[in-house]
Amino acid sequence: MRALIFIALSIFASTSYAQQQEALKKLSSIMASPELTQEAYIAGEDRITLCGYCHGKDGNSTRSHIPNLAEQTPVYLFTAFEKFASGERNDFVMSKAATMLSLDDRVNIALFYGMQKVKQKEAVDPSLHDLGETKFTQICSACHGTNGEGNDDMPRLAGQPAEYVRQTLTLFRAGGEHRPGSLMIPIAKQLSDADINALASYVQGLNP
């Protein structure tokens, strides 16, 4: 019966609020059960062939302007698909990719990628460490975690490629047209170019 409901839901490219809440509940009940998590992991792995070209099969991105998905919080990953599919978040590739995934796919892929491990990288420039650390501790850690580990809908930042972080913060500062209404827009407006470079370098080297 459940499977039937999800097949029916997946016919609609964009899902209602109630359906999203239902899927989020499903996500947390899967996460609470080792057997269901294992099933979802296998089902997710089956659906990431295309994604792997950009985000890596193990969730470590293949290019510096593409985010890692490894160890990202499953709730954030799932919510990101919903935002791309609904138009709340815009990206040329991702907006199309998200509408091709059923609700089940989104749940399974979020779990699969969330369970991968980030490959540790160095900070880009050690001389930016102190400024990066100061700004991160003052402004960012309250939401993104002391070491950028994230939590539920607060994304993990630790180990994200510096170039992705730099570009993303710069877009938020410019008004966030790619993610209208994001909490990050007013926060990024306080940052100078030097702050953004230091934060991007620092975050890439974080290893919670």
Which parts of this chain interact with ligand HEC (CB under 6 A)? Answer: 50-51, 53-55, 66-67, 69, 77, 80-81, 91, 93-94, 97, 101, 109, 135, 139-140, 142-144, 153-155, 157, 165, 168-169, 178-179, 182-184, 187, 199
* Non-local CB neighbours of 27 within 8 Å, separated by 6+ positions: 74, 75, 78, 107, 110, 111
Least separation in angstroms between CB 152 and ligand HEC: 9
- Residue (4 or 125) nearer to ligand HEC, CB: 125
Least separation in angstroms between CB 142 and ligand HEC: 5
- Residue (69 or 123) nearer to ligand HEC, CB: 69
How far, in Å, are 2, 120, 187 from residue 71 at the CA level? Answer: 28, 12, 24
Find, among 13, 157, 172, the residue nearest to 76 by Cα.
157
Least separation in angstroms between CB 42 and ligand HEC: 16
Dist. CA 124–CA 113, nearest whole Å: 25
Dist. CA 10–CA 3, nearest whole Å: 11
Kindly report the backbone phi and psi dihedral angles of residue 43, in degrees, each rounded to the nearest multiple of 5, phi listed first: -65, -40
Least separation in angstroms between CB 161 and ligand HEC: 10
- Residue (23 or 169) nearer to ligand HEC, CB: 169
